[in-house]
């Protein structure tokens, strides 16, 4: 789960990390009063969307002005003007895709006098199964370009879970950033605090870009991106409350209500499968035969008819879907339950695209006869290979 920058900064503040004062703003009418609570003389108005690259982004609407999603204002009145321009407008950045994202929240923050911009993130490195730091002197807006062109400027190191965070990790960060004296001490302190926040809140990623040195020699987290491990959210009701549904894919929200493991993708073939491994194999074989999956969907082991119906509806509601492949291996899951769910869903929402159903395993004969006697235009398949070829052929017609 992702959260907004201002929410991430509130968490960092809780753990004692240095962040500027700021006020979240949902309505333009509140912007002036919000800015007036800040020290000034510089106010930064920042669009809050779940995507990076806001500074270099641009708005679709001409009325939003041409200054991007992070704007420096010289007075509370100017901060208010920027707020009016940005709220409700659509911001397009390298991370939002062409459609962009509507800005529904802003963060008005104290402006910093920046001396240097660094990059620092903490993440879980799956290769080593350890929490790792990624640090670079080349912070600011283009870390992907740095990683591509000058990878030697990025320093990475893991934290041994047996020792946890140690003073030498802080020194490593300070060295990597070329910091000495008091700034090195601040870097050590920050390293410990960020790590503590990461572990305590079950984060998956904590990215500070930029981490800055101010003109008066202070480290400060100027941007913050945090994602949390979904499987640990039950331990953090305070974090779960920060979820902003307006930032998420509607189909994924609907799927999460039914406890379906669903991820929207860009292809044309909607997939309904049981078991993550089988779902991956199904996606691979669709690719092999020349099409792409529109989603990953694992209905799980003990899916009910209601769950299957919900899954089917989510798939058919996606305008990108040009064909549907149901691929079920009945173990705990029974083929007749799947068949009934699919038929019920088709009767409810209709079927405008070709549907291939491949059933195997428990109660397969009953499942097949339910499909066959339904009177619906379903293409039956006997194995995975056959099923993939049939749906790809049907979509290409
Ligand atoms: P994004 O990464 O989405 O572009 P950032 O929060 O990193 O958004 O802001 C982009 C740039 O704007 C930063 O690299 C920094 O130069 C500037 N900036 C952001 N916040 C402030 C601030 N509070 N004071 C001064 N400059 C800021
Ligand atoms: Mg940034």
Residue 341 lies in a domain: yes
**Overall number of domains in the chain:** 3
Q: What is the CATH number of the domain that holds 29?
A: 3.30.1490.20
Clarify whether residues 261 and 199 are in a common domain.
no
Clarify whether residues 392 and 264 are in a common domain.
yes
Residue 328 lies in a domain: yes
Which atom of ligand 1 is the closest one to the Cα of 117? 14
Clarify whether residues 128 and 218 are in a common domain.
yes
Clarify whether residues 158 and 143 are in a common domain.
yes
Could you give phi then psi for residue 33, rounded to 5 degrees?
-60, -40
With CA atoms as reference, report the closest residue to 322 among 262, 393, 387.
393
Q: 141 CA distance to ligand 2 centroid (A)?
A: 6
Stretches where the chain sits below pLDDT 70 are: 141
Q: 71 CA distance to ligand 1 centroid (A)?
A: 8
Range of the domain at 323: 252-396
Give the pLDDT of residue 141. 67
Q: Is residue 333 part of an annotated ligand binding site?
A: yes
Give the pLDDT of residue 391. 96
pTM of the model: 0.82
Clarify whether residues 84 and 138 are in a common domain.
no
Give the pLDDT of residue 248. 86
Clarify whether residues 69 and 121 are in a common domain.
no
Give the pLDDT of residue 249. 82
Residue 288 lies in a domain: yes
Clarify whether residues 120 and 224 are in a common domain.
yes
Give the pLDDT of residue 360. 92
Tokens of 319: 């305008």
CA distance linking residue 338 with residue 308, whole number of Å: 6
Any ligand 1 atom below 6 A from CB of 12: no
Q: Is residue 298 part of an annotated ligand binding site?
A: no
Clarify whether residues 126 and 181 are in a common domain.
yes
Residue 390 lies in a domain: yes
With CA atoms as reference, report the closest residue to 175 among 163, 186, 184.
184
Q: Is residue 117 part of an annotated ligand binding site?
A: yes
Give the pLDDT of residue 207. 97
Domain boundary among the residues 71, 88, 110 is at 110
Any ligand 1 atom below 6 A from CB of 18: no
Give the pLDDT of residue 250. 83
Mutate to test the pocket of ligand 1, among 39, 51, 223 (most ligand atoms within 8 A of CB): 223
Clarify whether residues 228 and 119 are in a common domain.
yes
Any ligand 1 atom below 6 A from CB of 140: yes
Which atom of ligand 1 is the closest one to the Cα of 52? 3
* Contact by Cβ (8 Å): 115, 213: yes
Mutate to test the pocket of ligand 1, among 39, 70, 115, 145 (most ligand atoms within 8 A of CB): 70
Q: What is the CATH number of the domain that holds 232?
A: 3.30.470.20
| C-alpha 114, offset from chain centre | 29
Q: What is the pLDDT of residues 130-178, one digit of tens each?
A: 999 999 999 986 788 888 899 999 999 999 999 999 999 999 999 999 9
Give the pLDDT of residue 69. 96
With CA atoms as reference, report the closest residue to 390 among 346, 327, 302.
327
């Amino acid at each position: 789960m992702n959260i907004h920058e201002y929410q991430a900064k509130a968490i960092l503040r809780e753990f004692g990390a240095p962040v500027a004062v700021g006020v979240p703003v949902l309505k333009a009418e509140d912007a002036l009063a919000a800015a007036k609570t800040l020290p000034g003389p510089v106010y930064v108005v920042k669009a809050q969307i779940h995507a990076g690259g806001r500074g270099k982004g641009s708005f679709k609407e001409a009325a939003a002005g041409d200054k991007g999603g992070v704007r420096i204002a010289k007075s509370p009145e100017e901060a208010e003007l920027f707020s009016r321009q940005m709220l409700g407008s659509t911001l397009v950045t390298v991370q939002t895709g062409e459609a962009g994202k509507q800005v529904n929240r802003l963060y008005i923050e104290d402006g910093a006098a920046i001396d240097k911009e660094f990059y620092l993130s903490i993440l879980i490195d799956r290769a080593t199964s350890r929490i790792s730091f990624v640090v670079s002197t080349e912070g600011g807006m283009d870390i992907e370009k740095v990683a591509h062109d000058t990878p030697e400027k990025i320093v990475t190191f893991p934290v041994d879970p047996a020792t946890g965070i140690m003073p030498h990790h802080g020194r490593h960060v300070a060295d990597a950033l070329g910091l000495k004296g008091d700034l090195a001490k601040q870097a050590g302190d920050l390293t410990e605090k960020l790590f503590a926040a990461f572990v305590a809140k079950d984060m998956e990623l904590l990215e500070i870009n930029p981490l800055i040195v101010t003109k008066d020699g202070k480290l400060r987290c100027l941007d913050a991106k945090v994602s949390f491990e979904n499987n640990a959210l039950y331990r953090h009701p305070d974090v779960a409350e920060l979820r902003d549904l307006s930032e998420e894919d509607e189909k994924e929200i609907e799927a999460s209500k039914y406890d379906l493991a669903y991820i929207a993708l860009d292809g044309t073939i909607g997939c309904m499968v049981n078991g993550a491994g089988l779902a991956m194999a199904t996606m691979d074989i669709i690719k092999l035969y020349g099409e792409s999956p529109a989603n990953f969907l694992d209905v799980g082991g003990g899916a009910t008819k209601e769950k299957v119906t919900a899954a089917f509806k989510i798939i058919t509601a996606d305008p990108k879907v040009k064909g549907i492949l149901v691929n079920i291996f009945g173990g705990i899951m029974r083929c007749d339950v799947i068949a009934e769910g699919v038929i019920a869903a088709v009767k409810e929402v209709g079927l405008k695209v070709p549907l291939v159903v491949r059933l195997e395993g428990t109660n397969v004969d009953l499942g097949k006869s339910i499909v066959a006697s339904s009177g619906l235009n379903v293409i039956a398949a006997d194995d995975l290979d056959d099923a993939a070829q049939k749906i790809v052929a049907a979509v290409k017609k």
